[in-house]
Each structure stands twice: as structure tokens, then as C-alpha cells.
């Protein structure tokens, strides 16, 4: 959905709230709608547009490198705790 349509819906909900004619139940729902749309619109402004995403990925791929990959092996015996005594309730 385009941000213009979201702004239009948010403004509609704000007008319903400002009218003062809404009962408490719907008023609360309009408030939640305004808060949710504010959060969505804020998030939309912080996301990379689709057109720039491919360029960003291509740029990132040129800078990635594997550090300490397959040469790092863990000893599986480190994670077994069979010798730890357990005290059960009586």
C-alpha cells in the first residue's frame, strides 16, 4: 500500500477522534489505528526502496569475506555434563 493512502486513512481516523462524537470503544480503536499507521509510516521511511535494494546487495557482496570458517571446530565432549551430580527432592 502506498504511503499516501495510509496518510489519508490516518487523517480520517484523526478527524473521527477530533469530532468528539465517538463512543469510548470506537474512539480507542481509532487511537490504536492512528498509532499503528504512524509506526508503519515511520518504518516505511527507514526501509531501502526496492530499486536501491539490488544495488545495495551487490555492493555488500563485494565486501563480504569468510573469517575463521571451517577451521574452527569444537570438541563435542565439552558439552556433555554426565558427571554433574543432581540432587532430587525427597
Cβ-Cβ contacts under 8 Å for 41 (sequence gap 6 or more): 3, 6, 7, 10
Cβ atoms 6, 23 nearer than 8 A: no
Q: What's residue 35's pLDDT?
A: 96
Question: At 88, is the pLDDT very low, low, confident or very high (cuts 50, 70, 90)?
Answer: confident
Tens-place pLDDT, residues 20-68: 999 999 999 999 999 999 999 998 887 766 656 566 555 555 566 666 6
Q: Which residue has the higher pLDDT, 19 or 78?
A: 19
- pTM assigned to the model: 0.53
Q: In this structure, what C-alpha cell is assigned to residue 73?
A: 571446530
Amino acid at each position: 500500500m502506498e504511503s499516501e493512502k495510509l496518510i489519508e486513512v490516518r487523517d480520517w481516523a484523526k478527524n473521527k477522534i477530533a469530532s468528539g462524537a465517538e463512543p469510548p470503544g470506537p474512539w480507542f480503536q481509532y487511537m490504536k489505528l492512528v498509532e499503528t499507521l504512524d509506526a508503519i509510516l515511520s518504518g516505511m521511511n527507514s526501509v531501502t526502496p526496492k530499486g536501491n535494494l539490488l544495488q545495495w546487495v551487490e555492493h555488500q557482496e563485494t565486501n563480504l569475506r569468510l573469517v575463521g570458517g571451517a577451521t574452527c571446530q569444537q570438541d563435542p565432549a565439552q558439552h556433555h555434563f554426565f558427571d554433574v551430580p543432581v540432587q532430587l527432592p525427597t
